[in-house]
Amino acid sequence: MADAIGITLLGCGIVGGGVVKILSEQRELLQRRSGLSFDLRHIVVRDRSKHSGRNVSTDAAAAIDDPRTQIVVELMGGIAAAGELIERALRLGKPVVTANKSLLAARGRELFSLARKHNTVIAFEASCGGGIPIIDAITRGLVANRIDALLGIVNGTCNVILTRMTKNGWTYQQALAEAQRSGFAEADPTLDVSGRDAAQKLALLASLAFNVTVAEGDIYVEGVDKIQAADIGFARDLGYVIKLLAIAERNAGDRLTLRVHPTLVHRDDVLAEVGDSFNAISIFGHALGHALFYGRGAGQMPTASAVVSDLVDVALGSRAIAFRQQRIYPDSTPAADVLPFEQLESRYYLRLSARDVPGVLADVTAALGRNGISLSAVLQRESNDSQMVPVVITTHLAREGAVRKALAEIDALPTIAPPTVCLRIIDQPKEFAGA
Amino acid sequence: MADAIGITLLGCGIVGGGVVKILSEQRELLQRRSGLSFDLRHIVVRDRSKHSGRNVSTDAAAAIDDPRTQIVVELMGGIAAAGELIERALRLGKPVVTANKSLLAARGRELFSLARKHNTVIAFEASCGGGIPIIDAITRGLVANRIDALLGIVNGTCNVILTRMTKNGWTYQQALAEAQRSGFAEADPTLDVSGRDAAQKLALLASLAFNVTVAEGDIYVEGVDKIQAADIGFARDLGYVIKLLAIAERNAGDRLTLRVHPTLVHRDDVLAEVGDSFNAISIFGHALGHALFYGRGAGQMPTASAVVSDLVDVALGSRAIAFRQQRIYPDSTPAADVLPFEQLESRYYLRLSARDVPGVLADVTAALGRNGISLSAVLQRESNDSQMVPVVITTHLAREGAVRKALAEIDALPTIAPPTVCLRIIDQPKEFAGA
């Protein structure tokens, strides 16, 4: 048996605690399943008084520099301090395992390049999809595929909120408050509910899937914070469920559309069944066809499971081999060629507040028609409120730009109370599209 | 750039053709995504007249022995000849990539041992779940998990048949005939519809998941060939869909239950949504919780996708590293400790043909009660046929042995037309059961 692999753990919050738990409680299992044993030499924390143990310290630099530290695990989060310590480890040629999607989305290119320069590696399975081995699937299992689309539910907080709104008929505020009470949303939920967290994950996943570098700014982002209970209900009546999807698709000429927004998913779609804090990512490969990966997208032990799988892969040396060979990491790929969002082709869901329905529907359909948008369905209910009547329209495939133009015209009508709600409907990409 | 990796392909049928297609048409993609290029030196076929190309031959031994052959891909199928050629390659220290689940289920222990002796490796991602990278997920992504359950749909043919029966109200014979016409079932469908193919895959998957050696004979097997349209209908009325599931679960004392049989799955379960030739495998890990892997379980290009991903992993050397280190392959693990099937705890679906309902229901419930089985639901419809009335009963958790005893008593009643149909109902295993 080889010597135990020396580990330094930077940060010991929720996920770090899970890693410590696996490394200490599952020594025998890990030994059998990986052939390795790990020695947690240093746990670096900010406040020593909250932690016990001889291996706990506050001196990150000394822990990283310790010659017996062979792998550095960064679970502190944030950009500046974490980035500096990761750089320190890489400069010493020590591999880094991290779950820090914000850092990689912001500075991935530079850090991967540094790792390559020092003949080492960054592993980041835990940064996307929690415990789901999705990075591994894209970079290894699907290595023989030209990936044509990648889309899914990658933010557990938003999925908890939308699931509660759908199942319990709650408002966004009710669902958010409940998610905060039950630990699924932070006190400041902005990063999650704005869609930014999902966009950072999509930047990483799409970079690896499409062999290009995707920056967070390449991605069109809408969050869940403006979703109204009425739209969840109308969507259901039309046969859809509203999910926050992260979507990357290859279009003609290898141009990508990249977007995170609330999306109407048909109730027969597997993604419609993905509830609560679960994540699920669909991938369409030219050879594989449609595949889907489902599991806990967050939480202590699922995320720790991904961190430890990275630790094993790095310790075995196989991650470094792949990193050296594969030209899919952001330091080795060109910037993504992104289709301007106005050119997106999608189906749309529109909900208008109309004052006088018979007259207004003619005006609305005229505005849509002028912009080349054809209707798929119209849903209008009898209303007790004689002032404002909701009218729901779904469209066939249309251009985002045309829809925006039509919406501006519609919202200017005297019979409409703006703003008209506009959501996108997704049809599953076709399998074997260009195979 | 390193030299191209020399490949010998044994067998060039459907899947072999897909591998040739990927290696020839996706050279540039493979080069970028793996850093490797492959040289298909030999394609060995039985009948040379059906194939063209300078690299086609009928001499497998010579092709394997060719010093420029660095990896052997076995896609001929069958046991005897394939086994012999794989042994030949392993004895030369050449890694083998295979999709041959029958061979590995029958002779895995011996072949893995031979590979180890000659310091080489067998990769077999394509043997289970078609293009889904499920072997990789179990052996790498979930390496830090004590796996508590693995269950899923692993045979595309059976799933096509059951999907058509469910959606179209067809009989088994109608659905089988249609599956044969559309290429989803073989002319002799026995291996698939009997459940044996699923059992061979379960033997492989469970071996890796539970760190034990599972033999095909350890697995209780029922196929889909006795499923009647009436049961699909009653199941639907009760809120269930019938699927052929392969199930491996860890019980108290680490004893495993291993089984393949038609199973009533609740319609809210993700597995219920898996239709047509898709496969899906749920895994419950002590840290990860519930994860599910979904995709095309068969077909030319999905399976070829898995073969080529193995080729890349083997050529990079990472598969050999893992194989050397991990003590999870059948040559390094003890035989599974299998719970006798009579001790299985499950819920059950029973459909009786009763002559005289008021009287008979008392007799039937008495027989169940005598064996300690309590009822969950009873479904009985008005019938035009005054002779025979179907009565459907679902039970709470009961022992298989007790149910069999009760069924023998029920089928002996003068008011019952035997045999009573008996199917098992599954509730999803609990996440984090013993965590």
pLDDT at B359: 85
Least confident among A326-330, A408-412, B84-88, B200-204: A326-330
Distance of CA B415 to the CA centre of its chain: 39
Q: What is the pLDDT of residue A386?
A: 67
Q: At what angle do helices A101-117 and A80-91 cross, to 10 degrees?
A: 20
C-alpha to C-alpha distance for B343 and B254, rounded to whole angstroms: 14
How far from A203 is each of A128, A131, A336, A388, B190, CA to CA, in Å?
10, 18, 10, 41, 47
Please judge whether A143 and B30 are an interchain contact, meaning their C-beta atoms are less than 8 angstroms apart.
Answer: yes
Rg, Å, chain A Cα set: 24
Summarised one tens digit per residue, pLDDT across range A231-285 is 999 999 999 999 999 999 999 889 999 999 999 999 988 899 899 999 999 999 9
Which member of A29, A36, A326 has the closest CB to residue B325? Answer: A36
Two tokens, residue A397: 């495939």
Query: Quick one: average pLDDT of B44-58?
Result: 90
CB-based contact, B430 to chain A, within 8 Å = no
Residue B345 predicted with pLDDT over 50: yes
- Residue B227 neighbours by CB under 8 Å, 6+ apart: B162, B165, B172, B242, B262
* B354/chain A closest Cα distance in angstroms: 37
A201: tokens are 């994950």
pLDDT tens-digit series, residues B227-239? 999 999 999 999 9
The type of residue at B345 is E
Per DSSP, the three-state class of B171 is: coil
User: What would the two tokens of residue B331 be?
Assistant: 């040559």
pTM score: 0.96
Contact of A295 with A278, CB cutoff 8 Å:
yes
A:3-32 residues touching chain B, CB 8 A cutoff? 18, 22, 26, 29-30, 32
Write out the two tokens for B21. Answer: 């297609």
Task: Summarize the confidence of residues B108-127 as an average pLDDT.
Answer: 97
Q: Which of B85, B89, B101, B92 is nearest to B135 (CA)?
A: B101
- Which pLDDT value is given to residue A434? 46
The residue annotated as part of the active site, out of B21, B50, B94, B201, is B201
A153: left (phi > 0), else alpha (psi -120 to 50), else beta? beta
CB contact (8 A) between residue A143 and residue B309: yes
8 A C-beta contact, residue B285 and residue B242: no
**A chain contacts of residue B318, beta-carbon cutoff 8 Å:** 316-318, 321-322
Cα separation of B265 and A210, whole Å? 37
Q: How far apart, in Å, are the Cα atoms of B89 and each of A263, B82, B312?
A: 52, 11, 18
A170 SS3 class: coil
Q: What is the pLDDT, as a whole number, of residue B166? A: 97
Nearest CA-CA distance, residue A398 and chain B, Å: 29
CA A22 to chain centre: 25
Q: Which of B36, B292, B309 sits opposite A295 (nearest CB)?
A: B292
Chain A touched by B116 (CB under 8 Å): no
Asked if B287 lies within 8 A of A145 by C-beta distance, the reply is no
Q: Which residue has the higher pLDDT, B339 or B273?
A: B339
Give yes or no for B294 touching A (CB within 8 A).
yes
- Residue A35 has its nearest CB partner, among B34, B296, B326, at B326
Beta-strand pair A389-395/A345-354: antiparallel
Cβ B64 vs Cβ B89: under 8 Å: yes
Average pLDDT value over all residues in chain B: 94
Per the listing, tokens 């009822």 go with B375
Phi, psi of B426 (to 5 degrees): -115, 135
CB contact under 8 A, A316 and B325: yes
Given a contact cutoff of 8 angstroms between Cβ atoms, the answer to whether A158 and A298 are in contact is no
**CB-based contact B219:B259 (threshold 8 Å):** yes
Q: CB neighbours (10 Å) of residue B34?
A: 26
DSSP B342: G
Mean pLDDT on B147-159: 97
Write out pLDDT tens, residues B273-312.
Answer: 899 999 999 999 999 999 999 999 989 999 999 999 999 9
- Chain A within 8 Å of B131 (Cβ-Cβ)? yes
Q: How confident is the model at residue B434 (pLDDT cuts 50, 70, 90)?
A: very low
- B156 contacts chain A (CB < 8 A): no
Domains of chain A, start order: 5-123 (3.40.50.720), 134-297 (3.30.360.10), 344-426 (3.30.70.260)
Residue B419 one-letter amino acid = P
Provide, as residue numbers in chain B, all residues whose Cβ is less than 8 Å from the Cβ of A318. 316-318, 321-322
Is B201 assigned a catalytic role?
A: yes
In order along its 435 residues, chain A shows pLDDT tens digits of 468 999 999 999 999 999 999 999 999 999 999 999 999 999 999 988 888 888 999 999 999 999 999 999 999 999 999 999 999 999 999 999 999 999 999 999 999 999 999 999 999 999 999 999 999 999 999 999 999 999 999 999 999 999 999 999 999 999 999 999 998 999 999 999 999 999 999 999 999 999 999 999 999 999 999 999 999 999 999 999 999 999 999 998 899 999 999 999 999 888 998 999 999 999 999 999 999 999 999 899 999 999 999 999 999 999 999 999 999 999 999 999 999 999 999 999 999 999 877 788 999 999 999 999 999 999 987 776 667 899 999 999 999 999 999 999 999 999 999 999 999 999 878 776 544
3-state secondary structure of B261: strand
d(CA A220, CA A245): 12
Q: B337, B212 in Cβ contact below 8 A?
A: yes
pLDDT at A49: 86
Beta-strand pair A38-44/A345-354:
unpaired
pLDDT for res A429: 80
Region B49-60 average pLDDT:
90
B290, B312, B325: residue with CB nearest A35: B325
Nearest CA distance, B381 vs chain A (angstrom) = 29
Q: What is the pLDDT of residues B347-359, one digit of tens each?
A: 999 999 998 777 8
Which of A29, A33, A318 is the closest to B318 by Cβ? A318
For chain A, give percent helix, strand, coil, nearest 5: 40, 25, 35
Q: Does A181 touch chain B (CB under 8 A)?
A: no
Query: Contact at 8 Å (CB) between A284 and A434?
Result: no
- Give the active site residues of A: 201
